[in-house]
């Protein structure tokens, strides 16, 4: 089956239980959630790594006739910030041996932390592309990127140090999380993800609207920080 990026696929992934494959992260607010990251401003990624992730998430949730996609929503920023914190270091996970290949039902089994998995897999992928006469992933056209992501998902690409399928599963899950999490965590910029699914946000009071059945809800979308849900001030 060909790789099919798009909203339906991602929303389906968001509804599926994830604990059996990749441990969901506990979001850390981003102090730079209101701006696209620039070289020198990354929390964890190098510029090359950030470019790879931004290219990847833009294919997993592409912009289309329904609206902007993961790139426009700042999902790469979200992932960058989360990998720099406790999630990236797997602080709350059991990360001791023995290191044996497990099943999906047994959960995350790798020796690599999420941050290490991203760094290792990205380097392995660009190395694989070079050895197979291809340009780095981020420099390929969208069709070639889709084919490669599908190969990662199926485990058809054998990376030198990182399991391709495990990396794809984590990348997809983190992309969905960044697209649908509250904007204070660095993604879902301008409530792009919430507007797509019709979620108005965690407004503190809906009493006036509860019994207005069938009437369109016209209040503006809000996040945990209010209507400007994309800005977190540094402390």
Q: Which residues contact 75 (CB under 8 A, 6 or more apart)?
A: 57, 61, 174, 175, 178, 179, 187
pTM of the model: 0.82
CB 229 within 8 A of CB 180: no
Interval 63-79: pLDDT, tens: 988 889 999 999 999 99
Highest mean pLDDT among 10-14, 158-162, 207-211: 158-162
Distance CA 100, CA 108 (A): 11
Q: What is the pLDDT of residue 233?
A: 42
> For the chain, what is the total number of helices (H) and then of strands (E)?
8, 0
Interval 24-72: pLDDT, tens: 555 555 544 333 445 457 999 999 999 999 999 999 999 988 889 999 9
Distance CA 105, CA 108 (A): 9
Distance CA 8, CA 100 (A): 34
Distance CA 54, CA 70 (A): 8
Interval 189-210: pLDDT, tens: 999 999 998 888 887 777 778 7
Q: Pick the residue with more confidence: 101 or 26?
A: 101
How distant is the alpha carbon of residue 88 from its chain centre?
13
The answer on pLDDT for 120 being more than 80 is: yes
Q: What is the pLDDT of residue 19?
A: 39
pLDDT class of 121 with cuts at 50, 70, 90: very high
pLDDT class of 6 with cuts at 50, 70, 90: low
Q: What is the pLDDT of residue 18?
A: 45
Highest mean pLDDT among 17-21, 147-151, 193-197, 211-215: 147-151
Candidate from 28-37, 113-122, 155-164 with smallest mean pLDDT: 28-37
According to the 3-state scheme, what is the secondary structure of 159-198? CCCCCHHHHHHHHHHHHHHHHHCCHHHCCCHHHHHHHHHC
**Percent with pLDDT over 90 in the chain:** 54
Domain positions in the chain are 7-197
The answer on pLDDT for 2 being more than 50 is: no
- 203 by DSSP, 3-state: which? coil
CB 54 within 8 A of CB 73: no
Q: What is the pLDDT of residue 158?
A: 95
The answer on pLDDT for 151 being more than 70 is: yes
């Amino acid at each position: 089956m060909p790789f099919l990026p798009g909203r339906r696929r991602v929303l389906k992934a968001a509804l599926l239980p994830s604990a059996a494959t990749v441990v969901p992260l506990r979001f850390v607010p981003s102090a730079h959630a209101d701006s696209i990251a620039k070289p020198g401003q990354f929390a964890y990624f190098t510029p090359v790594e950030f470019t790879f992730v931004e290219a990847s998430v833009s294919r997993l949730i592409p912009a289309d006739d329904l609206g902007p996609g993961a790139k426009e929503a700042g999902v790469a920023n979200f992932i960058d910030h989360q990998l720099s914190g406790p999630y990236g270091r797997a602080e709350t996970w059991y990360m001791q041996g023995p290191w044996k290949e497990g099943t999906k039902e047994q959960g995350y089994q790798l020796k690599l932390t999420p941050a290490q998995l991203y760094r290792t897999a990205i380097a392995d992928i660009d190395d694989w592309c070079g050895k197979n006469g291809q340009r780095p992933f981020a420099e390929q056209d969208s069709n070639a990127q889709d084919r490669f992501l599908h190969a990662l998902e199926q485990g058809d690409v054998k990376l030198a140090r990182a399991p391709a399928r495990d990396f794809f599963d984590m990348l997809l899950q983190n992309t969905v999380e960044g697209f649908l999490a509250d904007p204070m965590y660095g993604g879902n910029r301008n409530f792009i993800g919430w507007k797509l699914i019709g979620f108005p946000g965690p407004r503190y009071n809906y009493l006036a609207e509860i019994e207005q059945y069938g009437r369109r809800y016209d209040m503006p979308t809000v996040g945990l920080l209010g209507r400007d849900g994309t800005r977190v001030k540094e402390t």
